[in-house]
């Protein structure tokens, strides 16, 4: 087919074709944007409705859990939560009394020497525990023998008897202070 139209008519037809194409493409873009806006609005309304539902559920749940019974439980939980760090601190700084008492009881002591009381203090910054022992010895020689047994121990650092412990030659009440450390 031969195109016999003059150049002006060809240009007008081309411009009309471009104009129609741009109108169609513009319409498609505008319609697409309107559809996206409607989709986004529907999502927005859905989310707003869900937020309101969740707020309502939260309010009803809060009202349910604000009863006296739950307040008492909350106070008890808070009390125990405050108590846990104190307990943890106690366990970190605890003294292993059984280990100290076992080592003291295994030390050789004469048959006439008896303990009446043992007082164990908390460890100092260096980990040294002071142990105070009250007791009775039938003779001063037994007391001296026990002092030598204590001084031969590796874990016992310092052994101090009170001055009153040495006064009576028989049936002497003694007061002994020693430092125990690893």
CATH classification of the domain holding 119: 3.30.1360.100
Residues 153 and 86 in one domain: no
From the CB of residue 150, how many other CB atoms can be counted at a distance below 10 Å? 19
Report the chain's terminal Cα–Cα distance, integer Å. Answer: 113
Q: Degrees (nearest 5) of the Cα angle 66, 68, 72?
A: 100
Residues 129 and 172 in one domain: yes
Residue 66 placed within a domain: yes
**What DSSP designation does 108 have?**
-
Residues 90 and 116 in one domain: no
Residues 37 and 89 in one domain: yes
- Provide the pLDDT for residue 28: 96
pTM over 0.75: no
Residues 122 and 141 in one domain: yes
Residues 26 and 82 in one domain: yes
- Pairing type for strands 113-120 and 170-180 reads unpaired
Domain that holds residue 140: 97-180
Residues 165 and 116 in one domain: yes
Q: What are phi and psi of 155, to 5 degrees?
A: -85, -15
Residue 158 placed within a domain: yes
- Provide the pLDDT for residue 96: 66
Residues 86 and 115 in one domain: no
What does the alpha-carbon distance between residue 173 and residue 114 come to, in Å, rounded to a whole number? 10
Residue 61 placed within a domain: yes
Residue 26 placed within a domain: yes
Q: What are phi and psi of 161, to 5 degrees?
A: -100, 145
Residues 87 and 106 in one domain: no
Residues 165 and 102 in one domain: yes
Task: Choose the final residue of a domain: 44, 79, 94.
Answer: 94
Residues 130 and 56 in one domain: no
**CB-based contacts of 126, cutoff 8 Å, min separation 6:** 181
**CB-based contacts of 137, cutoff 8 Å, min separation 6:** 110, 112, 113, 114, 143, 146, 171, 172, 174
From the CB of residue 136, how many other CB atoms can be counted at a distance below 10 Å? 14
What is the four-CA torsion angle of 51, 53, 56, 62, rounded to 10 degrees?
-80
Q: What is the mean pLDDT of each run of 10 residues along the chain (182 residues)?
A: 80 93 96 96 96 93 75 85 83 71 80 86 78 88 85 82 81 85 68
- Provide the pLDDT for residue 68: 67
Q: Provide the token pair at 103.
A: 């080592």
- Provide the pLDDT for residue 1: 57
Task: Choose the final residue of a domain: 47, 79, 94.
Answer: 94
**Domains in the chain, number:** 2
């Amino acid at each position: 087919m031969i195109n016999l139209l003059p150049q002006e008519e060809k240009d007008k037809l081309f411009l009309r074709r471009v104009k129609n194409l741009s109108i169609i493409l513009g319409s498609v873009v505008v319609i697409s944007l309107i559809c996206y806006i409607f989709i986004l609005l529907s999502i927005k309304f859905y989310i707003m409705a869900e937020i309101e539902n969740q707020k309502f559920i939260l309010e009803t749940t809060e009202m349910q859990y604000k009863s006296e019974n739950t307040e008492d439980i909350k106070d008890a939980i808070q009390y125990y939560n405050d108590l846990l760090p104190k307990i943890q601190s106690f366990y970190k700084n605890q003294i292993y009394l059984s280990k100290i008492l076992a080592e003291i009881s295994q030390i050789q002591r004469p048959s006439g020497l008896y303990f009446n009381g043992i007082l164990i203090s908390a460890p100092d910054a260096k980990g040294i525990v002071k142990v105070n022992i009250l007791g009775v010895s039938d003779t001063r020689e037994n007391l001296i023998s026990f002092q030598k047994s204590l001084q031969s121990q590796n874990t016992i650092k310092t052994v101090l008897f009170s001055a009153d412990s040495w006064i009576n030659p028989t049936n002497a009440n003694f007061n002994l202070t020693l430092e125990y450390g690893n």
